[in-house]
Amino acid sequence: MTALILGIVVVLIVFYFISTQRELVKLDENCNNALSQIEVQLQSRWEELTNVAESVAQYDEHESRTMIETIRARQGATKTAGDVNAQEDFMGQIMSRIMAVAEAYPQLQSAVNYQQLIAHVKEYNENVRISRMVYNDTATKINRYVRQFPSSIVASMLHFDLREYLKVDKEEMRSAPVLFPKKQAQQ
């Protein structure tokens, strides 16, 4: 009788271990996939930014050449959340430079090609934003599993670690335009 109970307990533990391992692998793969999706969106956005920089060449060749060389040197693989955060910071710097050139040349701002390219960059920005949210949601799920008991025991035995979250630049958040201002309190 004791051997039967012990056998059932061992089978339950083995079953729990296997099901937890499978769930951790699934969450890990979802996280890797989400990060890969961000990389695809970032690459598309880099290509579009290069096109914008090339369109700036008609107005300011030195600035355009500098931006293109900088973009080519800085775009790269995104293997971690830190890589994505670094590329996002750099992307903001390049966009600021492009906007500064556009302000200096009003005819550039009104050029149809430039407007279309900027619209594409904005579209890719939105795609990256959505991909970042998916990644952070997936990272939350795996992090919860890695930290909660008893799945934390299995995670630690199988070397599943916490995933880093993608961060938002606090300065960028403060300078973002307010789309829906708070309603004034009625007096």
Pairwise CA distance, residues 137 & 38, whole Å: 13
Judge contact between 152 and 55, C-beta under 8 A.
no
Q: Token pair 């949601």 is at which residue?
A: 137
Predicted confidence (pLDDT) at residue 61 exceeds the cutoff of 80: no
Place of tokens 């009788």: 1
CB 38 within 8 A of CB 128: yes
As a whole number, mean pLDDT of residues 39-65 equals 75
DSSP letters, 45-66, are HHHHHHHHHHHHTTT-HHHHHH
The arithmetic mean of pLDDT across residues 79-88, rounded, is 77
Candidate from 16-20, 154-158, 183-187 with smallest mean pLDDT:
183-187
- The tens digit of pLDDT for each residue in 87-138 reads 777 777 777 777 777 777 777 666 777 777 778 888 888 888 888 889 999 9
Residue 129 neighbours by CB distance under 10 Å: 12
Residue whose structure tokens are 């579209």:
123
Model pLDDT, residue 29: 94
Domains and CATH numbers, the chain: 21-136 (1.20.1440.20)
C-beta of residue 51 within 8 angstroms of C-beta of residue 61? no
Residue 28 has pLDDT above 90, yes or no: yes
Q: pLDDT per residue over 126-180, tens digit each?
A: 888 888 889 999 999 999 999 999 989 999 999 999 998 888 755 554 444 433 3
Q: pTM, whole model, 2 decimals? A: 0.66
| Integer Cα distance of 40 and 35 in angstroms | 9
C-beta pairs of 71-80 under 8 Å, 24+ apart in sequence = 71/46, 75/42, 75/43, 75/46, 77/39, 78/35, 78/38, 78/39, 78/42, 79/35, 80/35, 80/164
Q: Judge whether residue 68 has pLDDT over 50.
A: yes
